[in-house]
Amino acid sequence: MSAEEANDSVNRREDRISLQDRDGEITSHESPNINSGEEFNVTPWEVAGEVDYTKLIEKFGTSLIDETIVSKIHDLTGEIHPFLKNRFFFSHRDLDWILREYEKGNKFYLYTGRGPSGQVHLGHLMPWLFTKYLQDKFNVKLIFQITDDEKFLYSEHSNYDSICHYTYENILDIIAIGFDPNKTRIIINTRDINYLYKLSTEIAKRITFSTAKAVFGFTNSTNIGMIGFPPIQGAPCFLPSLIEGKSTPVLIPAAIDQDPYWRMTRDIAEKLGYPKPAQIHSKFIPGLVSGGKMSSSKPDTALFTVDDPETLETKVKNTFTGGQPTVALQRKLGGNANICPVYWYLNYLFDSEKESRRRYIDCTSGNLLCGECKDDMIKKVKPFMKEIQTKREEAQDMICKFTVDGKDLNNDNTIQF
């Protein structure tokens, strides 16, 4: 394919699925695996198959982030975050309402979270980096929930020793993101359940088993801990109204896998006298191997924040790509950037729009080899992770600034008589 044909191909691709950004430039929001026609399944616990985000929006009943919303965010904050510009954050529920309330002076809370099943990877960082941007730009408070109970209940082989270890490790990453300690509180479910329990029973009482089965896919063999868990993830949606003593909007930034929790919570919110929680959903950072998302329960798919430079380099070098089997074929036929994780890591996180467009053309026209993209990725990801590792070190002395009771983590909860 000549460079001109490749350019045409990019343009055709963008005609199909692009949105006009506010500067009039074309911003692609195509992403890996789009329109593959294959079956896929997205639940809070598993993402399987080739995700078609267009179909997912229809299936979940969410809304595409459109130009009006992006312009409104630009007007309110003075900028558009790259994750919005490149439509890594692509879908929402009631984000327009959140922005209208904000304009009226009714400030929202942010709410996001982590299930500590392993070390934090590049995919987890994406919603958190975006949450930090929202906190800074809108100057709002954040509740960060750690669902250690969920991870214990979900996996047959889990135990609380390892979950406690990862809770601590993951909190270092969360603090390393740079959230404002005066405006951020981390709630660890098994430690801080007293802040959530009453609210979660209010939610649980209004959700039948048949609804839970329909929303989460529970079956007769699901353990009853998992069946009872969702209201505990729903509870922080209403906590801000209790903290503020008035109806307080909540915006949840997360990848779209968490949406079933919010569908359930939104359903009963008004019955309980609280506003429905709003969401802004991201796509998934793909894994290092072919197909599926980056996942901490599948360590060979992930670049972790604790990986040393050599490990990062080896992992990137071994990553699946959209390239041809030989250099000669790559030069002749060009690569398939659409299915290439390395292309998407660079697109989502490190390349400018212009660089990404150039990379797409060069790859698909055979002018760029996979090794060259991998070298670019290695050059970018090493210092990126190094900076997080330095901040994780500093975070060790900051945990008590983020806990709900201002105390350090303490696993000793024996009862004293």
**Residue 200 or 324 with smaller CB distance to ligand TYM:** 200
CB atoms within 10 A of CB 46: 15
- CA 370, CA 317: separation in Å to the nearest integer? 9
Q: How far is the CB of 238 from ligand TYM (least distance, A)?
A: 13
The window from 12-20, 252-260, 374-382, 409-417 that contacts ligand TYM (CB under 6 A) reads 252-260
Q: Which of 32, 82, 113, 323 binds ligand TYM (CB under 6 A)?
A: 113
Of the candidates 345, 337, 329, 341, which has an alpha carbon nearest to the alpha carbon of residue 364? 337
Q: Which of 171, 294, 377, 385 binds ligand TYM (CB under 6 A)?
A: 294
Q: Residue 288 CA to chain centroid, in angstroms? A: 17
Residues 138-177 that bind ligand TYM (CB under 6 A): 145, 147, 150
33 is a site residue for ligand TYM (CB under 6 A): no
Q: In b/e form, how buried is each residue of 287-321, taking b as 16+ CB within 10 angstroms?
A: bbeebbbbbbeeeebbbbbebeeeebbebbeebbb
44 is a site residue for ligand TYM (CB under 6 A): yes
Q: Which of 127, 231, 277, 341 binds ligand TYM (CB under 6 A)?
A: 127
266 is a site residue for ligand TYM (CB under 6 A): no
Q: How far is the CB of 168 from ligand TYM (least distance, A)?
A: 15
Binding-residue pattern over the window 228 to 247 for ligand TYM, x denoting contact by CB under 6 A? -----x--------------
Tokens 């506010």 correspond to what residue? 22
The window from 105-113, 365-373, 390-398, 399-407 that contacts ligand TYM (CB under 6 A) reads 105-113
Q: Which of 10, 73, 126, 235 binds ligand TYM (CB under 6 A)?
A: 126
Label residue 395 exposed, middle or buried (CB < 10 Å: 0-12, 13-18, 19+): buried
CB atoms within 10 A of CB 368: 23
**Residue 163 or 255 with smaller CB distance to ligand TYM:** 255
Phi-psi region of 412 (alpha: psi -120 to 50; beta: other; left: phi over 0): beta
Query: Pairing relation of β-strands 18-20 and 26-28?
Result: antiparallel
Q: Which of 30, 52, 101, 257 binds ligand TYM (CB under 6 A)?
A: 257
